[in-house]
Each structure stands twice: as structure tokens, then as C-alpha cells.
Chain A
Amino acid sequence: MAVELKQPEREQSVSRAHLRRGGETLEALVLLLPGLMLLLVFIVWPTLNAFWLSFHRENLLGTQRDWVGLANYAEMLRETAFWRAVGATFLFAAIVAPVQILLGLIAALMVARPFPGVNLFRTLFFLTTAVPTAVAAVAWGWFLHPIGGVVNRWLQAAGLPPQPWLTSVELALPTLAIVTAWAGVGFTAILLTAGLQQIPEDLYEAARIDGASAWRQFWHITLPLLSPTLFLVALLTMLNSLTAFGQIHLLTRGGPAESTMVWVYRIYQDAFFNFRFSYASAQAVALFLVLLLLAGVQFRWFGRRVHYG
């Protein structure tokens, strides 16, 4: 990720160094100070505070917080509802990621190379990035509506029973995952299109001359050369879906029977409905550590790519 500092630029020649005058530190301060203050107050301090909170517990009135060490974490790890939420969160991500990547890949493959009218299709495929979460959720709420929804009408036309997509314990979580994947298609399509466009065209030409079929071209050229982008997109999609909240809040509120109670939704509920900020904070810190672990995987992978490059 960030660490590819360009070495040559660091060596300033003597004449260049000569041009520099004193007072640069002052100018730097003017440019940096406002932003730095904001970063410290609104990111660093709250992060430290999240840890601090997680080691405390508020009394019943919420007026005072006492140090309790790791008690919040111990309670969290003992609570079966927490583990169910963790399971739901990962199941959710495990459905979102492949579906979203597949849908995005199909779209990207269609529009990566120019053809007449390509811009119209790019716009249509990338469109979901411009759809706010709440609008996406409402659109699907109606799309899957028990009576008015198109999907159930199709099922009936095909002689199948209509399904309670968002109100059944078994279906609600996978349905929400599909909604989330749909909302993310534009994002994946954009990144994968960029990745596809970096593959040199002459590779395909050479393959065509050798008589390779479209399928073989995809399997032996596109997929291997796209794999770094695919891997990156997979991780980003995972990280995003592990923190999904808006569509769940709007469509199911964690129900039915807590079947869509994911990690972030639990944090929200414990803090703002059960008024247990410190307990919620412990769960937020735990989520942070899991995300950090995944980001670490990503970081290592980037290190490898820079190495090969």
C-alpha cells in the first residue's frame, strides 16, 4: 500500500539544497497544524478512548465508569449471542464477496474493451456506486415484497410458492447479502475494469493467432493477470461487508429472531438501546482487531507484489 517511497527523490542535489531557505519548518507547521489537530482529536483520541472504555463499566445510571479490566471481554467471549453474531457476520461476508465479485467481473469483462455504445453500458454497470445504501435497501425491499414484489410474482408464474425473503429466519441473511452484493457491483466493476485494462492487448492477439478459444484466453491470460486485482477486490469486499449496517438496519433491524444480528448491529444496539457503551466498545475493539488481522494479510500480499514488481 503506502510504503513505496520513491528513493531517488530523496537525494537532493547540492544546488537544489542550496535553494532551500530557513523557515521551511514554519511553513510546514502552517500547512500541517490544522489537519494534524483534527486527526488527533477525531481519530487518534477516539481510538485510544475505545480501548479505555472497553476496560471500564458504567453504573446503572450511566453517571460513572469503573475500571473492570478485561471483564467486558470475558463476558463477550462467554455470551453465545455474541458468537452467533460473529457467525452471522462471517456467513454474510462469505456470501457477499463471491456474488459481488462474480457479478462485477461479468460486468467488467463486458465493458473493459471499447465497442460502439460502451459508455452507456459502463454507466449502467457502474451505476450502483451512486445509489445510497438506504435507496438500494428500499428498492430491494419492494423488489422482494411479499405481494407487490416482482420476484415473488415470477415465482408464482413459474408455479413456485412465493418466499418470505426478508421475514424468514433462514432466508433473511442470505437475502441481505444479495442486496449488499448488488449495491457493491458498481464498485467491483470499476476496479476490475481498471485491472482488465492494464492487461496488454497484444497478448490476446498472439493467443488468437495461435487459435486459442475465448474460454482458453480467459483462463490462461485474463484470470492469471487479473488475479492481483481480484485478490485486492476480494479483500476490500470482505472488509466492507464485515462492517455492513445500513441495509440491515433498514430492512430487518437484526431480525427475525436475531438471524441478521451482525457484529456492528450488536455494537449499535448494546450502546444505544441497552446503554452499555463500554461493553459495546469491547465488541468494537474486538472487531477492529479482526479487521486489522485481515488488513495484515492484505499488507503482506502487497509487499509481495512490490517485491516482484
Chain B
Amino acid sequence: MYAWLLVLPLLTLLSASFRSDADLYAPGLLPPRPTLEAYQEAVQKYPVGRYLLNSLVVSLSVTLGVLLVSASMGYALARVRFAGQSLLFGFVVSLLLIPGEVTFLPLYLMVQQFGWINTYWALTVPFIAAPLGIFLLRQFIKSLPQDLFDAARIDGAGHLRILWHVALPLTAPALGALAALTFLGTWNMYLWPLVVINNAAMQTAQIAIAQVVSVEVTSWNVVAAVSILVLLPTLLAFLLAQRAFVRGITLGGLKG
């Protein structure tokens, strides 16, 4: 019952997306005459596929970049001995406190100077080095037994080899969690894509919804259809990898 109430807003949205213009305001939770009209109109009027592709390219690139940078930095901060290690770690931790709302104006001016407005670069490169990811993987790699790393050292392996062959396979659960967290976070970005993208072809799915809402003021069935199409990929990812998502959110939340 409670679960039903919680998902009800989504169900009514789903219902609206299957209604024709004439049935839109007809009462009842189920559409009286289910139809795909709204979906047809949505994909004819808007490049929904392109929006989704943009979001997908951006989210996957950021996720991959975050995994690479976090793994190498996390490993170095946990397992390689060099002068100033703890200082550097403290520095990364302090960066956790800086919210994106503070950096986004100067970042915008910078990206503008780089000529990155309306490009994937603006949407990806600034987010590849994520303090949270570095912190999480550093903590995880630090918690692995030291003996494994010693054994690899005795065998004469360098740090890059150890990272690749010893640390990364053992870090798989943390990597999965971080990947899920990053993917979702990037897909959910709103303010940043809103300001750095202003042409339709480069729009991410989220911002595209805002655009559609302001155009289709009365055609809520079309708005609903676009929204459902945008929801599907993250929903699917969540259903397939719920464990990784839950782990990622627990880790990401409990770090503080």
C-alpha cells in the first residue's frame, strides 16, 4: 500500500503517456483507450534518441574517467610511498567540501574561454577527477591485506602492474559501486548542462525535458512520453545493478 502510494506519481505519468489528446483529462488511473500516439508525436517532433545518446555518451565517459583517475590516485595514496602523501590525501579530502554551486560560475567562464560551450568536453572533462571517488577507492585499497602487495613486490612487480593485476581485481565491488554512483550523478546533472549547452543537438535528456515542458504547455501526454523515454535507461540500469547502486549510495552517503 505504502509502496503503491510512493510510485503513484510515476504511474500516473506512465498512464498519461499512453493517452491520446482527447483522453488526456479522462478520469481513472488507466488510460481508457491506450495508444502510442504521444510517443509517436514525441519522437517525430523531438530528437529524443539524440538526447538520450548525448546523456549516455557523457555519463559513460565521465564514469570511465572517474574510475581511471580514482583508481590510480586512490592506489597511489594508499600503497605507494612518497613524500607528502598524507598531506596530499588531506588535500583531496578537503576538496570534498567544495560544492559545485560555488565553482560553476568561474568554471563556466573558463569553459567559455576554452571554446567548449556546446561540446561534450564541457560536460565531461571538468568532472573526471572526483574527490569522492579518489577518497572511496583510497580507503578501499588501504583496507586490502598488505601481504598481497608485498608478495607482488617480491615477485618484482612494479606499482603499475600491481595496480592492474592485484589491486583492481580485488577492488571490483568498490569500482562497481563508484561506477553506479557516478553514472547516476552525471545523468542527473541539471544546472551545469543547462548553462553550457544551448543548442538542441547537444542537449542532454534532462534539460531536453525542461525544453519540451515549456513548448508543450498543454500536451502533457507528449511531455509524459518524453519523460518516460528518458526515465527508461536509468531505471533499467538501476534494476539490473541494484546492488551496485545501493552500495554506491551507502558508501557515498556514509563518507559524509
Interface of A with B (CB < 8 Å)? 1-3, 5-6, 9, 16, 19-20, 24-25, 27-32, 34-36, 38-39, 42-47, 49-50, 53, 103, 106-107, 110, 121-136, 138-143, 145, 147-148, 150, 153, 182, 185, 187, 190-191, 194, 232-233, 236, 243, 245-246, 249-250, 264, 267-268, 271-272, 277, 280-281, 284-285, 287-288, 291-292, 295, 298-299, 302
Q: Which residues of chain B from 67 to 91 have a CB within 8 Å of any chain A CB?
A: 69-70, 72-73, 75-77, 80-83, 85-86, 88-89
What per-residue 1/0 map shows which CB atoms of B140-151 lie under 8 Å from chain A? 001000100010
Chain B residues lying within 8 Å of A187, measured Cβ to Cβ, are: 249, 253
Q: Is the CB of A19 within 8 A of B150?
A: yes
Our pick among A27, A35, A135, A185 for the contact of B69 (Cβ within 8 Å) is A35
**Partner pick for A5 among B24, B86, B230, CB 8 A cutoff:** B86
Chain B residues within 8 Å of A29, by CB: 82
A96 to chain B, nearest CB (A): 16
In the complex, B239 has a CB within 8 A of chain A: yes
- Do B191 and A285 touch across chains, with their CB atoms under 8 A apart? no
Chain B residues positioned under 8 Å from A45 (CB to CB): 106, 110
> In whole angstroms, what is the CA distance A31 to B209 when docked?
40
B153 within 8 Å of A (CB atoms): yes
> In the complex, which residue of chain A has the Cβ closest to the Cβ of B110?
A46
- Is there an interface contact between B187 and A132, defined as CB atoms closer than 8 Å? yes
Task: Indicate if B169 sits at the interface (CB-CB under 8 A).
Answer: no
B250 lies within 8 A of chain A by Cβ: yes
Complex alpha-carbon distance, A271 and B106, angstroms: 11
Taking A124-B6, A138-B227, A268-B191 as contacts, is the C-beta distance between A129 and B98 under 8 angstroms?
A: no
Task: Give every chain B residue within 8 A of A268 (Cβ-Cβ).
Answer: 191, 195
Residues in A with CB closer than 8 Å to B77 are: 32
Could you tell me the distance in whole angstroms from the C-beta of A169 to the nearest C-beta in chain B? 21
Which of A107, A132, A249, A299 is close to B188, meaning CB atoms less than 8 Å apart?
A: A132
Nearest-neighbour CB distance to chain A for B214, whole angstroms, equals 9
B103 lies within 8 A of chain A by Cβ: yes
Q: How far is the CB of A41 from chain B (nearest CB, A)?
A: 8
Residues of A within 8 A of B142 (CB): 6, 9
Question: Are A130 and B159 interface neighbours, CB within 8 A?
Answer: no
- Asked if A280 and B105 sit within 8 Å, CB to CB, the answer is yes
Q: Are A191 and B73 in contact (CB under 8 A)?
A: no
**Complex Cα–Cα for A268 and B194 (A):** 10
Count of chain B residues with a beta carbon within 8 Å of a chain A beta carbon: 98
CB <8 Å contact, B209 and A138: yes
Pick from A46, A110, A121, A190: contact of B106, CB below 8 A.
A46
Q: Which residues of B contact A150 (CB under 8 A)?
A: 8, 12, 29
Q: Is the CB of A139 within 8 A of B227?
A: yes
Once A27-B159, A32-B76, A38-B128 are accepted as A-B contacts, the answer to whether A135 and B16 lie under 8 Å apart by CB is: no
Query: In the complex, are the beta carbons of A1 and B72 less than 8 A apart?
Result: no
A-B contact pairs, 18 of them (CB 8 A): A6-B142, A31-B75, A36-B88, A39-B131, A43-B95, A107-B2, A107-B6, A134-B207, A135-B231, A142-B220, A142-B223, A142-B224, A182-B6, A236-B253, A246-B191, A268-B191, A284-B104, A298-B256
B223 / chain A contacts, CB cutoff of 8 Å: 138, 141-142
Interface hits, B190-236 → A, CB 8 Å: 190-191, 194-195, 205-207, 209-210, 213, 220, 223-224, 227-228, 230-231, 234-235
Closest to A20 in B: B81
Residues of B contacting A145 in the complex (Cβ-Cβ under 8 angstroms):
220
Partner of A153 from the list B13, B27, B129, B131 (CB cut-off 8 Å) is B27
CB of B97 closer than 8 Å to a CB of A: yes
B contact residues around A38 at 8 Å (CB): 69, 125, 128-129
Q: In the complex, what's the smallest C-beta–C-beta distance from B16 to chain A, in angstroms? A: 6
CB of B18 within 8 Å of the partner chain: no
Task: Assess whether B170 is interfacial by the CB under 8 Å rule.
Answer: no
Contact (Cβ within 8 A) B254 A232? yes
Query: Once the chains bind, are A43 and B98 in contact (CB under 8 Å)?
Result: yes
A102 to B72, CA, bound (A): 40
In the complex, chain B residues 35-89 whose Cβ is within 8 Å of any chain A Cβ: 69-70, 72-73, 75-77, 80-83, 85-86, 88-89
B166 at the interface (CB under 8 A from A): no
- Alpha-carbon separation in the docked complex, A236 to B24 (Å): 39
CA distance A267 to B76 in the complex (A): 38
| Set A132, A185, A280: member contacting B206, Cβ < 8 A | A132
Q: Which chain B residue lies CB-closest to A136? A: B9
A1 in contact with B210 given A35-B72, A43-B103, A134-B227 (CB within 8 Å): no
